Structure 1
Amino acid sequence: MADPFPKDPAGSTVALVLAGGRGSRLDPLTAARSKPAVPFAGQYRLIDVVLSNLAHSGLKDVWIAEQYRPFTLNQHLAGGRPWDLDGTRHGLRILPPAEGREEEGFSAGNGHALAQQVPILRSFGAERVVVLSADHLYQLDLRPVLAAHADSGAELTMVTTVTDEDPSRFGVVQADEDGAVTAYDYKPEAPEGRLVATEVFVFDVAALHEVVAELVAREKAAGEHADGEEDEDGDPVASSLGDYGETIIPAFVGRGRVREHRLEGYWRDIGTLDAFYRAHMELLDGAGLDLAAPGWPLLTNPPAAPPARVWPHAEVSNALLSPGCVVKGTVEDSVLGPGVVVERGAHVRRSVLFGECIVPRGARLDAVIADVGAHIPAEAVGRSRPGPGNLTVLTPATRDPDSEDETTGGAAAKDG
């Protein structure tokens, strides 16, 4: 059978963005869209961060593995054009779930999703694959990472950082003075140190193929009955490789050829509502992601909307206003997405409004996250001291859960 992916010398490095997760910790913001498609900083989407890093790093083969509710995400991606990734031979490629071979179909975790792409990576001729998630904020030039990976002879290079958050939420890394990784503990109850993996990994594809094959063979052997039949699920890949932090990464560390590459500067995991809100407040404080970093701006598929308008009687302080916004009332320490209207007599404080909603006269929002199209009541909503788990989230209550439409009306409020 002819190889469906002829080898191309220019495709020796592929970037694989794992963008198929449900994102349940960001619910209800992920009820009708995938996590990478969640709006961020007004006119952007979460996936813009990783795609901008890849585009600025000069990586031209970018593959996006999708699964959960991809419609809105694909609309935004526009074939890769906003990041100059709309090439004919190289560029952005969408990897939807598929049926036909046992390694295909819907994945049972990011480890399984990674394993599903190994045959295609090998057929494509990729020697290295950069595996990334789409729910982290950072700015990173991957060229030095790839150069260090090649020079060290490592099978896996993981980008690490020293976190100011609870390290037990992440993969905790131990490394010697030369950067060799000696231990990796995934979400340990008692973490040793604050050095964590940022979920940016550079794998040698040949080694990845070996490790996945070994793990699958081991699980298959353990699942076979005495008569040689397989376990009930019949899919050793899905049953053994759920999360790569629990299976694939530890297996690489056990082989003894893993290096770390330290990321200095801002890094934030925004996989929870509290972290998502905090990242926006850091943006406003000047301590978060630099959206207009010289030579490294955040790129996006911008909305087709006129410039934001602030009326003479409006009061605006320390705010990000997206195209299409109209402000007649008071906005402070807030982020307004495309098409948000703040009427005269309305007050928005320390809030994040995604877009296409009206804040009417009499509304007072404090520490609120409002989804696209949310109905804002003409009353006080939110709490003046929002501590962890105490945010107010407004969503369009009448949205059809099976619909991909982000602009339907209705309202619902819940504490995150």
Structure 2
Amino acid sequence: MPLTKGRAKPVVPFGGVFRLIDFSLTNCLHSDLRDVWVVEQYEPHGLNDHLANGRPWDLDRTEGGLQVLPPYQGEGEDGFAEGNADALKRQAKAIVAFEPDVVLTMSADHVMRLDLRDVLEFHLGHGKALTMVTKELPGENVSRYGVVQTSGEVVTRFDYKPESPKGHTVTTEVFAYDGPALLEALEKVGEGDYGETLVPYFVERNEARAFRFDGYWRDVGTLSSYLQGHLDLIDHVFDLDDGPWPLRTRSLAREPARISGTLRDALVSPGACVEGSVVRSVVGQGAMVEAGAVIEECVLLDGAVVASGARLRRCIVM
């Protein structure tokens, strides 16, 4: 069963009490971005509930703030958007009306802490149509990403999810576009995903530059990367509790976790109950590990139950 059954990927839980979209919205908050748009597609209702009009991220304002763009089908368009570039193209009228100097886009299923002001300063300083935030992933299989080759800061080649990647520099799915240049490009090539048409359009015209990001970044779009992202929390490769950059979310009051079993290197969320043994695992809100159960390197989503006598290792339990 996919983690997105009945919910949009941005509201898949992460780290027990957070949702994936919290990372992008928190980065917007701490980067002092005042106008934030969320383009919805699949299962928007749960996402709308979580967004709560932007209040957790100080985006519930009279002017500006959070704007939710629901699934949209305009004249001459058939069905849902076919990729994120197509979704952006369908919002072209709204972009034209807003008249932005820069359009900053990011995915809602990536874990990272990024000051977007640095990206905007870099983008405006170089005066090109596109800035892509890139990350070196040495030793990893990068065939599921957009792979970039550069000469200094100039992007010389871009391959979208190549079978045989050339190098280990990938896009983090954070892009800064010149507003007018983006609208012009969307009229010409705005179908599919960014990596299929839109990004290559600018690379071919020598209008793309690379902003190198050295911090933690993980695309958790697969089950294995989702599990590894949680193990990174256990190992303090990435910490959710960062003093200067606290992660914000919409939270509901729950009673404290009840622990009568044993814990080792574990994150246990409010409302959870642990009577068994939990080792190097993350236990979601309201989840239950019954007496006699043992879990190791597991992620228990909200309300999951591990029955007495079960022994689980490297599992995601819904």
- Per the normalisation by structure 1, the TM-score is 0.73
Offset, 1:103:
5.6
Aligned residues: 317
Please say if 1:211 is aligned against 2:185.
yes
Distance 2:90 2:73 in 1: 11
How far residue 189 of structure 1 moved from its aligned partner, in angstroms, is 2.2
Contact in 2 for aligned 1:157/1:260 (Cα 8 Å): yes
Q: Which residue of 2 aligns with 1:328?
A: 275
Deviations 1:199-231 (A, max 9, x none): 10000110011112233xxxxxxxxxxxxxxxx
Q: Specify the alignment match of 1:249 in structure 2.
A: 199
Q: Secondary structure of 1:296's partner?
A: coil
Question: 1:28-67 to 2 correspondence within 5 Å?
Answer: 28-67=2-41
| Contact 1:351 1:368 survives alignment (8 Å) | yes
SS across alignment from 1:246: helix
Per-residue Cα deviation, 1:65-99 (whole angstroms, up to 9, x for no partner): 11111111111111111111111211111101234
SS state of the match for residue 95, structure 2?
A: helix
Q: Does 1:285 align with 2:235?
A: yes
Identity of aligned residues (%): 49
Identify the match of residue 151 of structure 2 among 170, 176, 182: 176
Decide which of 63, 84, 100 is 1:126's aligned counterpart. 100
Q: Is the 8 A contact 2:269 2:286 kept in 1?
A: yes
Change (3 A) 1:100 1:183: closer
Q: How far is the alpha carbon of 1:357 from its aligned partner?
A: 3.1
Structure 2 distance, partners of 1:88, 1:360, is 49
Q: After TM superposition, list the pairs within 5 Å mapping 1:155-194 onto structure 2.
A: 155-164=129-138, 165-177=140-152, 179-194=153-168
Distance 2:304 2:148 in 1: 44
Offset at 1:330?
1.2
Deviations 1:224-274 (A, max 9, x none): xxxxxxxxxxxxx6xxx1122010100011221211101002111111111
* Counterpart secondary structure, 2:22: helix
In the alignment, structure 2 segments of 5+ residues that lack a partner are: none
1:117 to partner: Cα distance: 1.8
Equivalent pair of 1:48/1:299 in contact (CA under 8 Å): yes
> Contact conserved, 2:73 with 2:90, CA < 8 A, in 1?
no
Q: Which has the larger radius of gyration?
A: 1
Q: 2:247 aligns with which of 298, 306, 309?
A: 298
1:88 partnered with 2:35:
no
Q: Does 1:269 align with 2:216?
A: no
Q: Which residue of 1 aligns with 2:83?
A: 109
Structure 1 CA distance, aligned partners of 2:160 and 2:148?
9
Deviation at 1:101, TM superposition (A): 2.9
Q: Give the alignment's TM-score, normalised by structure 2.
A: 0.95
Amino acid at match of 1:326: C
- In structure 1, stretches of 5+ residues that fail to align are 1-26, 216-236, 372-416
8 Å CA contact 2:89, 2:187 repeated in 1 = no
1:152 equivalent in alignment to 2:152: no
